[in-house]
Structure 1
Amino acid sequence: MYFLNQERSKAKIIVPSVLQAESLVTKPIPRSQRLSDDVKSYFPHLSHAEVVELAQGGKSAGGPLNVGVVFSGGQAPGGHNVIAGLFDALKRLHKDSRLIGFLGGPAGIINNIHRELNHQDVDRVRNQGGFDLIGSGRTKIEKPEDFEKAKKSCLELHLDGLVIVGGDDSNTNAALLAEYFLANGCSTSVVGVPKTIDGDLKSEMIEASFGFDTAAKTFATSIGALLRDALSAKKYTFFIKLMGRTASHLTLECALETHPNMAIIGEEAAASGKTLGEIVDEIVQLVAKRSQLGKDYGAILIPEGLIEFIPEFRELIDELNLQMADEASHEQILERLSHRAKSLFLALPSPMQQQLLEERDPHGNVQVSKIETERLLIELVGRKLEEKKARGDFKGKFAPVPLFFGYEGRSCLPSCFDANYCYALGMTAASLLREKRTGYIACIRNLASPPSEWQAFGVPLPSLITLEMRKGKRKPVIKKALVDLSGQPFLFFKERRSHWATEDDYHYPGPIQFYGPEEIVNETTLTLKLELAKEPRYVM
């Protein structure tokens, strides 16, 4: 029997030309933007670091390196290729270099639970999904004793470097850990790798986080199939919620790939101050207009974090986060809410009330992913349509189907783009460690070009950091990159969405392509193409 995952494990990775050099050096690139005094106060030892570019040069000889690696946070396709690229690059630097995997996420660093990875371990997971080689976790290294235990683990293992593969919070942790090590006599260098399917870890230098490409294509495959079903059966309206804890990047990308009848972009809703009622009215108008055209079917994409962008919900969640940080009981929390927030809370269906008060995430916030926004919208839209029907203003049928796409996109086989991208990130991390660069994040640029033309950089982590309220206190964090409403991906979508609303200009991307012409299998997201294209109108 043919198994695709077995075939993928043997697939050849395309390595950027610069990373194929026998030896590499890091060349500083002076940056014009300097850190604020507030951020500097947290990173006195790292605050003067410059962006560096990897280039051919230097000496290939050198002693073996001992490097630790950890997966932090949720899974994202391609993580195993970060390990593969890191492992191969370390062995190329010196055959006796060692790669040690910390098990179960950051808790593995704190408790020094680890295993050394060998050729067989790494070969087994090349081009494979998941994080199962060493596991992951959401433990935060935040207490003084956690930092001291992490330092002790690195010293006991004689680590020259530690690679932290994670999202914005995990890479914030990497920056804090690098600063702590420098301040407390630990020579272990710390390098981060940008990981999140949400696509919200990006900056002027970081073009994309790994995993976004695969997750978007996985979700778009299913959305395309549902659109075909809607057009075939002509009786269902799919309300599809898409993962993305805060930002709407996945919803926007999937809309660009599939052309649904509506895609709600949370950032746009926030910018225009839309209320929940106004969003419901827009959906009602769409359903009614399509019904007049004889189309009692369709599809609506909803970002996971939508309710955080709705003003009255944002106020409610902020107040809940603040009160829950004090470990108050549910009764105490409700009593402390403002009148407006409490009124909204009590007006919600009981299941949603419970969801808002459920166990917090590791950062002390409401778990937005557990709030069934798609079902709430269905209920509210249904009520409005019943009212219209009673008045004789709506004579169609409304058969809604709620769906949530999320976990199936986190551990699947990585696309060729993510497989190549992650391998290059691992190799870049190894080169940064060889050069004793600490407090950096590995960065690959020129991603809309063929992989052979990609460029490798190291970006100082503090340059990505700002101060935000967490658990009632201002703390350093990497700011999430939200959808840019003046950026080409959103403008491209905005220009076409009214046509998609009624004309059923559905696109069916089909499964992820792993084999075929390189320009097809290595093709990246439309978001990245539009952001980097010189003539964005001709991307599609």
Structure 2
Amino acid sequence: MSKISPLQKARSEYSPKLPPVLQECGPFATARLGEPTQSVADQDAIRRLFPDTYGMPAVTFACGESFDCEPIKAGVILSGGQAPGGHNVIAGLFDGLKGLNPDSQLFGFLGGPSGLIDDKYIMITEELVDSYRNTGGFDMICSGRTKLEKTEQFAQVATNCKKHGITAIIVIGGDDSNTNACTLAQYMLTEKTGIRVIGCPKTIDGDLKNEWIEVSFGFDTATKVYAELIGNIMRDANSARKYWHFIKLMGRSASHIALECALQTHPNACIVSEEVAAKKMSLQEIVTDLTKLVVKRADAKMNFGVVLIPEGLIEFIPEMNVLIAELNDLLAKEEAAFNAQADMSAKIDFVAQRLSAAAAGAFKSLPAMIKAQLLGDRDPHGNVQVSKIETEKLLIVMIEEQLAIINAGREKAVKFSSQAHFFGYEGRCAAPSNFDADYCYSLGYTAAALLGAGKTGYMASVRNVYAPASEWAAGGIPLTMMMNIERRHGKDVPVIRKALVELDGKPFKTFATNRDAWGAGVEYVYPGPIQYFGPTEVCDRVTETLALEHA
């Protein structure tokens, strides 16, 4: 980087905090073993698939005597979408490996798992690491979405590692990436390669968490970035008092981001996908509820508001879920005939004639714009690309249709002017908050300590993170502990189970208790930008979700 900003220069001098055991003992902390573990579900099936890693105990670190450690040659990959703090995971890993033995080496494989397969790498040096400490993004070695799941891929990885003398691989990724890490660890043990595999929990979506992984890294920073933007829009809405803002937020499989942003900013409405699924709410019911809110606020002379929408909402609506499943199957089976249609209008008619009655009804109710998006380019697995469906605009159009009917019977028409937004990439590569800078560095350092303890098939765990870093605990859990069997693409496969919003959990209950008041009034909170310097209650505060979960 030829030129850096004043903030980036100041951040480069920030020293991330470590859990006390790592601060005091470094990577030579002693691994204390807990009781044998089991997977979250499907225990017999997971045990058969992972005979060498299933049932391993959880690990906690405590100070003990230091030991001699041979130099470790390790490879690291960034896998999946970006999340703030990834560079600090690498920095913590690098420092931890050098702490075990100054002659240890770290290979950074480029572009994610594909770099590991294709043997494309750079040597990570102290000079390189120093230039990326506390920065956002994954651009030190870049990321990729290639899946490590085939035997021939594993064999190629083993060959490449053997060529360089690499005896450890660290996978920094989300649930799918760490599922692949779990399978890779088992392969390396089965084939007696001597290569160990450690995972680190990454995803801004917040859906990789459990008792031992209290939060995935990047969630803190991303939600604070989104909350700042939402607060700015709220201030604008409350100033102009003439627009309804519909804001879609990242989070396909869970609504953690939308819920956290709602807790930080107090919008007039926030849809939580998990609640929609639990109540079996139809699209029309969602629209009706929002329309009633628009009318209620208009009658109170407030023709403005802010609505938060999770990215994956459409997949949680029962009739839409059925429709999407049928579309995926239909377009896979009749791809050639579908592509042969003259234009989008013809394609829409082609599909409508081949859907079941229930799916056809849902399809017919949608605006032409959304129909076209549902029939657009598929992802590599042949599925609808949900992030490209403009749910925020769909809701706006359907509310306008309901208001047209309502206004026909009213003396004074309800005014409804709208603005649509999608906040996604704005938060993925932000400079990490103090929390994420500390947490990520600790995760990387913990991964090095796990290697020093001879572990494989584990995910680095840093717990008690709702408290100050001086009270954090370090350790690791077996990747198999998070696994279950799910049906994907017509096959039963082992995967790390996603953590959805718990409707009986305190974060959602707090939101549910307050949402009527937030909807009726102007209870907006303006969080402002992430603060890196100043009072600890401002700079080191944790997310509302984390604070409420551990209150």
- TM-score of the aligned structures, taking structure 1 as reference length: 0.96
Counterpart residue identity of residue 513, structure 1: Q
Counterpart residue identity of residue 279, structure 1: I
Report if aligned partners of 2:21, 2:61 keep a CA contact under 8 Å in 1.
yes
Question: Structure 1's 444 and 389: CA in aligned 2 closer, same or farther, altered over 3 A?
Answer: same
- CA deviation profile, 1:163-219 (whole Å, cap 9, x unmatched): 000001000000000011111121111011000000000112210000000000000
Question: Structure 1's 403 and 483: CA in aligned 2 closer, same or farther, altered over 3 A?
Answer: same
Q: Which sections of structure 1, spanning at least 5 residues, go unmatched?
A: 534-540
Whole-Å Cα distance in 2 between the matches of residues 329 and 393 of structure 1? 53
Counterpart residue identity of residue 220, structure 2: D
> What does residue 182 of structure 2 align with?
175
Alignment partner of 1:481 is 2:499: yes
More moved, 493-502 vs 518-527: 518-527
More moved, 475-484 vs 511-520: 511-520
Whole-Å Cα distance in 1 between the matches of residues 51 and 38 of structure 2? 17
Report if aligned partners of 1:364, 1:471 keep a CA contact under 8 Å in 2.
no
Whole-Å Cα distance in 1 between the matches of residues 524 and 248 of structure 2? 18
Whole-Å Cα distance in 2 between the matches of residues 141 and 133 of structure 1? 21
Counterpart residue identity of residue 490, structure 1: F
Alignment partner of 1:196 is 2:203: yes
Alignment partner of 1:128 is 2:166: no
Tell me how far 1:240 sits from its aligned partner: 0.3
Question: Structure 1's 396 and 271: CA in aligned 2 closer, same or farther, altered over 3 A?
Answer: same
Tell me how far 1:343 sits from its aligned partner: 3.2
More moved, 350-359 vs 172-181: 350-359
Tell me how far 1:335 sits from its aligned partner: 6.2
Counting only pairs closer than 5 Å after superposition, residues 352-431 of structure 1 correspond to structure 2 as 352-392=370-410, 395-431=413-449
Whole-Å Cα distance in 2 between the matches of residues 432 and 143 of structure 1? 26
Question: Structure 1's 14 and 373: CA in aligned 2 closer, same or farther, altered over 3 A?
Answer: same
Whole-Å Cα distance in 2 between the matches of residues 393 and 280 of structure 1? 23
Whole-Å Cα distance in 2 between the matches of residues 330 and 521 of structure 1? 57
Report if aligned partners of 1:330, 1:357 keep a CA contact under 8 Å in 2.
no
Counting only pairs closer than 5 Å after superposition, residues 208-227 of structure 1 correspond to structure 2 as 208-227=215-234
> What does residue 16 of structure 1 align with?
19
Report if aligned partners of 2:71, 2:100 keep a CA contact under 8 Å in 1.
yes
Whole-Å Cα distance in 2 between the matches of residues 397 and 373 of structure 1? 21
Counting only pairs closer than 5 Å after superposition, residues 295-374 of structure 1 correspond to structure 2 as 295-323=302-330, 328-329=335-336, 331=338, 337-374=355-392
Determine which of 486, 491, 503 is the counterpart of 1:468: 486
Q: Which sections of structure 2, spanning at least 5 residues, go unmatched?
A: 339-349
Report if aligned partners of 1:321, 1:471 keep a CA contact under 8 Å in 2.
no
Counterpart residue identity of residue 376, structure 2: E
Local SS of the residue matching 1:52: strand
- CA deviation profile, 1:98-142 (whole Å, cap 9, x unmatched): 010000010001111111110111001100000000000001112
Local SS of the residue matching 1:203: coil
More moved, 59-68 vs 409-418: 59-68
> What does residue 162 of structure 2 align with?
155
Tell me how far 1:363 sits from its aligned partner: 4.8
Whole-Å Cα distance in 2 between the matches of residues 401 and 173 of structure 1? 40
Whole-Å Cα distance in 2 between the matches of residues 117 and 337 of structure 1? 53
Alignment partner of 1:279 is 2:286: yes
> What does residue 538 of structure 1 align with?
none
Tell me how far 1:359 sits from its aligned partner: 3.1
Whole-Å Cα distance in 2 between the matches of residues 75 and 324 of structure 1? 30
Whole-Å Cα distance in 2 between the matches of residues 79 and 436 of structure 1? 24
Question: Structure 1's 461 and 506: CA in aligned 2 closer, same or farther, altered over 3 A?
Answer: same
Report if aligned partners of 2:37, 2:55 keep a CA contact under 8 Å in 1.
no
Alignment partner of 1:27 is 2:32: yes
Tell me how far 1:305 sits from its aligned partner: 0.6
> What does residue 93 of structure 2 align with?
86
Question: Structure 1's 438 and 408: CA in aligned 2 closer, same or farther, altered over 3 A?
Answer: same
Question: Structure 1's 180 and 33: CA in aligned 2 closer, same or farther, altered over 3 A?
Answer: closer
Whole-Å Cα distance in 2 between the matches of residues 273 and 393 of structure 1? 35
> What does residue 509 of structure 2 align with?
491
Question: Structure 1's 394 and 24: CA in aligned 2 closer, same or farther, altered over 3 A?
Answer: farther
Tell me how far 1:156 sits from its aligned partner: 1.5
Report if aligned partners of 2:21, 2:474 keep a CA contact under 8 Å in 1.
yes
Local SS of the residue matching 1:30: strand
Counting only pairs closer than 5 Å after superposition, residues 73-112 of structure 1 correspond to structure 2 as 73-112=80-119
